């Protein structure tokens, strides 16, 4: 008996402990189901339901100072870290993005688009320029997170934290090129001029009169190339033979090796992009390799979409294979609305639309909208510029259906910020006018068709000096003189201030958009425009016939007019501004819009 008592006591203790653990397990299970339900709801959202927030991890938030040098020595030319230089790493990382998700969500963004996070060559010198890979486009290891930004755990933590808040995560990916590793023996001191396919065919070494090579190549099956020295003699410098991952990327046979792109003609597809090694994207090894790489990121992290860099510099056949494979991979992961959009840097919709018709892109970044919306809001052109732009929606594959999922934006890390464009167009304007015009530009983006895409820092009033490097401000107090000395539009606020005038204005717009399905999914009808700054009006008509009328005044004087509306829209509710309570007559409503302002009016039964 004496020996049995302790055993029984131990048994009772174990049972009690199990009961306690069980009591904790129940809410954990419930929480897991709740998280799964939330993730399922998130993935059912259509692309046009999102508001995207685009950021460069290096410039957004530094959550872990131990990775500032990326594990390299502290020499700026080894690690690339120099927070006083616009073109070097400043210390931002994925942990910082995770810590600031509440800030992003408070602005009304529902999806975070990250500039490339893959491992890069930290520092490159080319053509007299030396800089660091803070932007993420000089990739060596396509399978790993760059150590300046964190690691696999940091990436996973960010995605899980975003999903827990009902936010999506989009990755910026690159398939056109890698970091600059391959060199040409003919040009030891600089860039090689582009050599065309006609002058330097794949079947001759060093030009049409050269010795035959790649004799089995028929012009179509690039798997039959055995030599890469048709135009130049490419080689990998000593010590960099295994610089790239996966390993197949280290073989020059998988690259075009034709010298520098001039960004015209065939060189736009086959030339090296500012020295970056241009992949032979016609090669089946490259096609399948990239499918495996980026499909792996979907499988591993449950990413919700891809922005694809340099889309216009890759042959259509590659995209025709790659994009369906990514959509299928996402669907297999349980992501039915995987958003893919390509970068086609051109203001002409005839150019951008081609990539939806020929290359098979579901969507492209709306550079034409960026051009017209910023010019209209800045008062450079009449409001008819937007009407003409929207008329061109029909040329996209599937017309308005595709136009509805084009990410619209006002500026970015390459061209400059909307604040810069407004200031440039209005050099004598005071801060109040510049602020009003920037708000107006955001309203044009937020309430018209497409997926509004905010560029980080615009909400803090950053404007910069435009162009490469000058629009990549640090969100925290910067050590870079050109950033630190800037006075933001609306005045300088503490870092990550939610009281900044533009943060407040954009948050108001996103709340209105989120509350009204017609503003996200409704059919767009342009109602009024002119050949000078002034009134621009459009309706978003829901499937149930409900109508929301958005009115914009791009002039410095008030405007009054009658605007056509749906015949059944007789009574109105103001969602923002002063709207007439009733239509003047069936299909006509009187509007009055203050200078450089906007109204949003909703028809009610």
Contact between 427 and 437 under an 8 Å Cβ cutoff? The reply is no
For 30, what's the count of Cα atoms within 13 Å in the CB-facing half-sphere?
Answer: 6
Give the separation between CA 567 and CA 587, rounded to whole angstroms.
4
Give the separation between CA 530 and CA 552, rounded to whole angstroms.
12
Go through 423-443 and write b for each residue having 16 or more CB atoms within 10 A of its CB, e for each that does not: bebeeebeeebbbbbbbbbbb
Dihedral of CA 476/480/485/487: which sign?
A: negative
β partners of residue 151? none
* CB burial of residue 605 (10 Å; 0-12, 13-18, 19+): exposed
Q: Is 458 a catalytic residue?
A: no
Give the separation between CA 528 and CA 564, rounded to whole angstroms.
8
3-state secondary structure 308-338: ECCHHHCCHHHHHHHHHHHHHHHHHCCCCCC
Q: Is 564 a catalytic residue?
A: no
User: If DSSP codes are grouped into helix, strand and coil, which group holds residue 419?
Assistant: helix
Nearest to 52 by CA among 406, 369, 368, 466: 406
User: If DSSP codes are grouped into helix, strand and coil, which group holds residue 307?
Assistant: strand
* Tokens of residue 306, six digits: 């891809």
Query: What H or E segment, with its residue span, contains residue 170?
Result: strand 168-173
Nearest to 361 by CA among 327, 329, 390, 392: 327
DSSP string, 37-73: HHHHHHHHS-GGG--EEEE-HHHH--S-GGGTTTTS-
How far, CA to CA in Å, does 328 sit from each of 248, 291, 295, 325, 593? Answer: 24, 11, 9, 5, 47
* Tokens of residue 143, six digits: 């399978």
Give me the residue label for tokens 């827990």. 164
Which entry of 309, 375, 384, 474 is annotated as an active-site residue?
309
How far, CA to CA in Å, does 594 sit from each of 155, 286, 425, 435? Answer: 46, 56, 21, 15
* CB burial of residue 451 (10 Å; 0-12, 13-18, 19+): buried
* Tokens of residue 147, six digits: 């150590």
Give the separation between CA 144 and CA 528, rounded to whole angstroms.
51
Contact between 140 and 179 under an 8 Å Cβ cutoff? The reply is yes
Contact between 157 and 205 under an 8 Å Cβ cutoff? The reply is no
DSSP string, 247-284: GGGG-GGGB----B--SSTTHHHHSBBTTB-BB-TTSH
Which entry of 49, 343, 359, 375 is annotated as an active-site residue?
343
Give the separation between CA 422 and CA 378, rounded to whole angstroms.
5
Active site residues: 309, 343
């Amino acid at each position: 008996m004496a020996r049995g008592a302790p055993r029984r006591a131990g048994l009772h203790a174990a049972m009690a402990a199990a009961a306690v653990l069980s009591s904790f397990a129940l809410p954990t299970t419930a929480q897991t189901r709740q998280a799964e339900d939330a993730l399922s709801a998130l993935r059912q959202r259509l692309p046009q339901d999102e508001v995207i927030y685009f950021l460069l991890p290096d410039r957004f938030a530094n959550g872990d100072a131990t990775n500032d040098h990326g594990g390299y020595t502290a020499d700026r030319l080894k690690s690339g870290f120099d927070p006083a230089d616009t073109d070097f790493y400043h210390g931002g990382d994925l942990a910082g993005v995770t810590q600031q998700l509440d800030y992003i969500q408070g602005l009304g963004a529902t999806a975070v688009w990250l500039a490339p996070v893959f491992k890069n060559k930290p520092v490159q010198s080319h053509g007299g320029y030396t800089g660091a890979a803070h932007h993420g486009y000089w990739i060596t290891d396509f399978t790993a997170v760059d150590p300046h930004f964190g690691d696999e755990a940091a990436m996973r933590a960010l995605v899980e934290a975003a999903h827990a808040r009902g936010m999506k995560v989009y990755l910026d990916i690159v398939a056109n090129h890698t970091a600059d590793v391959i060199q040409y023996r003919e040009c030891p001191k600089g860039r090689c001029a582009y050599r065309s396919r006609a002058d330097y065919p794949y079947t001759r070494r060093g030009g049409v009169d050269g010795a035959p090579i790649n004799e089995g190549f028929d012009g179509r099956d690039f798997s039959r190339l055995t030599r890469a020295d048709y135009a130049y003699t490419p080689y990998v410098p000593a010590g960099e033979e295994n610089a790239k991952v996966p390993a197949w990327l280290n073989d020059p046979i998988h690259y075009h090796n034709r010298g520098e792109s001039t960004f015209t003609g065939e060189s736009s597809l086959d030339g090296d992009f500012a020295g970056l090694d241009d992949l032979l994207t016609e090669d089946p090894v490259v096609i399948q390799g990239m499918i495996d790489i980026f499909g792996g990121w979907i499988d591993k992290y449950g990413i919700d979409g891809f922005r694809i860099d340099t889309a216009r510099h890759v042959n259509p056949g590659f995209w025709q294979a790659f994009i369906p494979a990514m959509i299928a991979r996402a669907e297999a992961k349980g992501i039915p609305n995987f958003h893919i959009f390509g970068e086609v840097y051109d203001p002409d919709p005839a150019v951008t639309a081609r990539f939806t018709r020929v290359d098979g892109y579901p969507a492209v970044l709306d550079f034409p909208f960026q051009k017209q919306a910023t010019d209209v809001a800045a008062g450079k052109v009449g409001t008819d510029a937007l009407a003409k732009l929207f008329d061109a929606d029909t040329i996209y594959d599937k017309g308005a259906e595709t136009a509805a999922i084009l990410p619209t934006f006002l500026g970015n890390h390459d061209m400059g910020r909307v604040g810069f464009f407004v200031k440039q167009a209005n050099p004598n304007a005071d801060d109040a006018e510049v602020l009003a015009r920037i708000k107006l530009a955001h309203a044009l983006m937020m309430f018209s068709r497409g997926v509004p895409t905010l560029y980080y820092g615009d909400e803090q009033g950053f404007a910069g000096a435009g162009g490469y490097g000058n629009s990549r401000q640090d969100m925290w107090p910067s050590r870079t003189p050109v950033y630190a000395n800037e006075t933001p539009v609306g005045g300088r606020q503490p870092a990550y201030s939610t009281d900044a005038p533009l943060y407040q204005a954009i948050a108001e717009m996103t709340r209105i958009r989120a509350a009204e399905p017609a503003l996200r999914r409704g059919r767009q009808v342009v109602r009024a425009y002119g050949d000078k700054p002034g009134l621009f009006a459009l309706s978003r008509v829901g499937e149930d016939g409900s109508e929301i009328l958005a009115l914009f005044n791009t002039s410095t004087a008030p405007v009054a007019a009658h605007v056509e509306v749906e015949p059944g829209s007789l009574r109105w509710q103001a969602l923002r501004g002063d709207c007439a309570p009733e239509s003047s007559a069936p299909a006509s409503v009187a509007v009055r819009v203050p200078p450089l302002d906007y109204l949003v009016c909703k028809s009610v039964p």
